[in-house]
Amino acid sequence: MRYLVAFCIVCFAVANGFAADLMIFSGAGLIKPMEEMRHNFEQKHNIRTDVHYGGSGEIFACLAAGQPADVFIPGAEKYTDDALKNGWVIKETIHKLVLHEPIIVVPMGNPANVNGLMDLTRPGVKVAVGDPKAPAIGRVTKQIFEKNGISEKINPNITVLAPTVNQLLIYVALRQVDASIIWKDLTSWAEEKGKLEVVPIPKEKNIIQTIPTAVCTNAPNKELAVKFNDYIASEEGMKIWTKWGYEPCGK
């Protein structure tokens, strides 16, 4: 909880220090496509955007704390659903964008010979997972373990509890752990090529999420927020999502 409060304080400080035309809260794992789309939008409309990247739980906590924001883009629908229930986003503006598929990643060469979920429970296998209270992948990972009945067996092997999915990627790439569960689309990042191997999770054992976007009820610039919200769900926006390894889910 102290981590979330500190994150929100940073959000307030940054927001008060810069005069952006558009304030966006985005899941940290979406940084690659978001940076490309926000740059395009800035050029087209001659404006300045400010994007706060963090775990989905963190940016949700900032909304809960009353931080003004124009657009809310978490890594899973649950956060938008909860924001809608609390009156923080506008229902008519919600777009379902792309799928978020969890996978197992291991260092190149797969030194611990991890070939599935059950291998994560073997004694001595070091596993990094997202904090269930921070990034969307943390909450989903916990649900996957529960769905497959391995929660108690895997707990002794969890050596890292990370606040963002991006950090999980780094732990594996640097061989500090034997495996982690991250989003499939992150493996398309060029800087991680040749450092990771992917171990798919069968669909019947997996929990695939949807990334949504919505305009915030207290959006300081609602008209511009609607334009950006529609842009990232547009055909042009979908080409960028696809470029970065995401699969469009339709409306």
Q: What is the pLDDT of residues 195-234, one digit of tens each?
A: 999 999 999 999 999 999 999 999 999 999 999 999 999 9
Residue 119 CA to residue 30 CA, distance in Å, equals: 28
Question: Residue 188 — pLDDT band, cuts 50, 70, 90?
Answer: confident
Query: In one letter, which amino acid is 72?
Result: F
pLDDT per position as a tens digit, 135-186: 999 999 999 999 999 999 999 999 999 999 999 999 999 999 999 999 998 8
pLDDT in tens, 94-150: 999 999 999 999 999 999 999 999 999 999 999 999 999 989 999 999 999 999 999
List the beta bridge partners of residue 100.
209
pLDDT at 105: 97
Going along the chain from its start, the domains and CATH numbers come out as 2-99+210-248 (3.40.190.10), 102-205 (3.40.190.10)
Listed in order, strand segments (DSSP E) in the chain are 22-27, 49-54, 71-73, 95-100, 102-107, 127-130, 158-162, 179-183, 196-199, 209-215, 247-248
In the sheet where 49-54 sits, what is the strand order? 49-54, 22-27, 71-73, 209-215, 95-100, 247-248
Contact 221, 22 (CB under 8 A): yes
pTM of the model: 0.86
pLDDT score at 177:
98
Please check whether residue 181 is in contact with residue 103, taking contact to mean a CB–CB distance below 8 angstroms. Answer: yes
